[in-house]
Structure 1
Amino acid sequence: MMMKITKLHYPLADSFHVDGQTVVAMGFFDGFHKGHQEVLRRAKQEAEKTGATFAVLTYDHHPAVVYKKMSMHERRYLTLLDYKMALFEKFGVQQVFLVNYSYAFQSQTPAQFIDHFIQRFNAVAVVAGFDHTYGDKQTATMQKLPEYANGRFNVITVPPVESGGQKVSSTRIRIGLDSGDVDQVNQLLGRSFQTTGLIVHGEERGRLLGYPTANVEHSEYQWLPKIGIYVVTVDVCGQQYLGMASIGKNVTFSATHPMTVEINLLDFNQNIYGEVVKVNWLHYLRDEIKFETPEQLINQLGSDAKATRQYLMAHPEILA
């Protein structure tokens, strides 16, 4: 059965109704990291135990836009909406309640939130992380939710998942990406950090240098790793290929070049303009360097390709 996505706005329409009982996992789930997965695993377990529908209550954009001014960088997402929905479905979620997170929605009291949403979802249980809030951060806490629920549904609070002695969090992942530490990011995610983009024409300098690159155009709302050179695999039409990716400004050729994502796919010779590809970011190799001559750049690209192949030899599973 395909996952159902229902878009909701506060207040809910009188015609809105849910057939049957649900277990509702609450959260924004940006990143879909190991902590998020534990919340969903616990909700799925409860749904299977009670025979209820496994549902998720999540939001269409960062809740923070309601209560603070955010920079363009802060407004980016680790997991764009379509990808997050695909991850939910792969996990076994049956129903997503996708709420427009507005000032009016946030301004509900906990009692109103329960009456207007949780009760109308026919929830037999609500599951969320220990630090999840569903309105005012002082009152709408998981610690207080059992009191507000008053026996109408079970409340399951999931403790933090830790890695390296610290809580796994979206904030840690953003910091990791901003420092280029995709190895740690992938450990926190339990999978490779993945982005999706469109292959477009670039300046084609790489072809002249003997290292043709695929230019990947990403959404401006996609959080990317910091400028530098990375080992990646790229899913092209369902097939995985090894490559080295450059996030940078081609500083060897121009001081004013815009930032681009260019990927040299090793042992690959196909025209893929117009394809939408998935990029799995695996390992940081080096910073972007301004070379004095094209020959120096070519030599460095040779070293990068060698390091990329060595990474594959040490991690053959990335192309399995």
Structure 2
Amino acid sequence: MQIIREFPSSHESQCVLALGNFDGVHLGHQRLLQSGLYQATQKGVELAVLLFEPHPLKLLFPERVMGFLTTQKEQIRLFSEMGVDRVYLMPFTKEMAETSPEGFVKDILVKLNVVHLVVGFNYSFGVFGKGTPEDLQRYGQEYGFEVSVLQPQTLNGKVISSTAIRKALLNGDMLVAKRLLGRTHSLCGIVVEGEKRGRQLGYPTANLKVFDDLLVPKRGVYAVWAEVEGQIVQGMMNIGMKPTFHEEYALTVEVHFFDFCGDIYGLELAVFCEEKIRDERKFSEIEQLKMQLERDALEVKRRLHGITSEHHQSLSAT
């Protein structure tokens, strides 16, 4: 898959273009990409996706907490798995934000040599998001490209959306998030040094500094797994503020991996969150916490039994 970071100076080869924010690359986004892939195959051209960097919301609302579901790196990996041929990562500037809907079409879509556009029903573009899918269809007739507008994708009668997935994660409902995403949600970051208190409790942890702008699920204990140094390892993750040891403390993400011992400081890690086991609690005595951790470990192993075997097989086959 080709990643293009500079706006083409001349006409590109023809493509079908999928437009959207694609935060989460959830089942609704996947359906849109599948539609684009079908159109590209029918027309004998490549399927492309257009993304902006930084994300338009970060430029327009720098004070806002973003709460994204996926990193750009994860988005690109998922695009590749779905058969996307090109990803345009176009710089988003204040000038770009002030572009009119027709200017967006003339200065971007036409130059990308788009023959067919695929967008969701609520896609907006141009200054103040004034442009609508209906506008794209009208401009398509004028500038010579077709437009497919996908209607809301639903699951069990509910619309699949990034907003619904964020709500599920903030409620700690990983199973709902998994159904809407079509895969297990992952939390990505860098392993950093912590207080090393887990070692004293008999449960050494990897402290995950979650990448900026990613949404962190509800505080509590989770059954998780990750690929660490080429092997799939199970573990339990705590998201919280260490109330047993501190009156006030920053939100931390700590993972204790079972049957793994190694120095992974500085490693970029994606932790896959299968289920939330319990809420965060404050314990009056350290021994109570230790006993609870033992119960947590047993429950996590029970919940993960069989779940990661398919990932072991997949890893072995690569």
Letter in 1 for 2:234: L
3-state DSSP class of the match of 1:311? helix
Letter in 2 for 1:177: L
Q: What is the rounded CA distance, in whole Å, between the counterparts of 2:12 and 2:190 in structure 1? A: 39
Q: Aligned-pair distance for 1:292?
A: 0.5
Letter in 2 for 1:22: C
| 2:193 is equivalent to residue 165 of structure 1 | no
Unaligned runs of 5+ in 2: 313-318
3-state DSSP class of the match of 2:111? helix
Q: Do the aligned partners of residues 5 and 238 (structure 1) sit closer, same or farther apart at CA in structure 2, a change above 3 Å counting? A: farther
Q: What is the rounded CA distance, in whole Å, between the counterparts of 1:285 and 1:31 in structure 2? A: 23
In structure 2, the partner of 1:195 is 187
TM-score, length-scaled by structure 1: 0.90
Unaligned runs of 5+ in 1: 9-14
3-state DSSP class of the match of 1:121? coil
- Give the alignment of 1:1-320 within 5 angstroms: 2-8=1-7, 16-65=9-58, 67-68=60-61, 70-71=63-64, 73=65, 75-136=66-127, 139-150=130-141, 152-313=144-305, 315=307, 317=309, 319-320=311-312
With 284-293 and 57-66 compared, the bigger mean Cα shift is at 57-66
Letter in 1 for 2:289: L
- Provide runs of 4+ in structure 1 moved above 4 Å: 65-70, 136-139, 316-319
Q: What is the rounded CA distance, in whole Å, between the counterparts of 1:3 and 1:228 in structure 2? A: 40
TM-score, length-scaled by structure 2: 0.91
3-state DSSP class of the match of 1:64? helix
Letter in 1 for 2:190: L
In structure 1, the partner of 2:315 is none
Superposed CA offset, 1:236-270 (max 9, x none): 12321111000111111111222211111112222
In structure 2, the partner of 1:11 is none
With 29-38 and 216-225 compared, the bigger mean Cα shift is at 216-225
3-state DSSP class of the match of 1:55? strand
Superposed CA offset, 1:121-169 (max 9, x none): 1111011111111125674111232112225011011111112312111
3-state DSSP class of the match of 1:133? coil
Q: Aligned-pair distance for 1:194?
A: 1.2
Identical-residue share of aligned pairs (%): 34
In structure 1, the partner of 2:316 is none
Q: What is the rounded CA distance, in whole Å, between the counterparts of 1:64 and 1:272 in structure 2? A: 33
CA contact (8 A) 1:241 1:319 kept: no
Letter in 2 for 1:128: V
Superposed CA offset, 1:178-234 (max 9, x none): 111111111111011112222222111111111111111222322111211111101
Q: Do the aligned partners of residues 317 and 183 (structure 1) sit closer, same or farther apart at CA in structure 2, a change above 3 Å counting? A: farther
Letter in 2 for 1:149: G
RMSD: 2.0
Q: Aligned-pair distance for 1:285?
A: 0.9
In structure 2, the partner of 1:12 is none
Q: What is the rounded CA distance, in whole Å, between the counterparts of 2:62 and 2:4 in structure 1? A: 29
Letter in 2 for 1:206: G
Q: What is the rounded CA distance, in whole Å, between the counterparts of 1:130 and 1:312 in structure 2? A: 38
3-state DSSP class of the match of 1:250? coil
Q: What is the rounded CA distance, in whole Å, between the counterparts of 2:310 and 2:215 in structure 1? A: 22
CA contact (8 A) 1:163 1:188 kept: yes
Q: What is the rounded CA distance, in whole Å, between the counterparts of 2:105 and 2:263 in structure 1? A: 53
Q: What is the rounded CA distance, in whole Å, between the counterparts of 1:81 and 1:297 in structure 2? A: 38
3-state DSSP class of the match of 2:214? coil
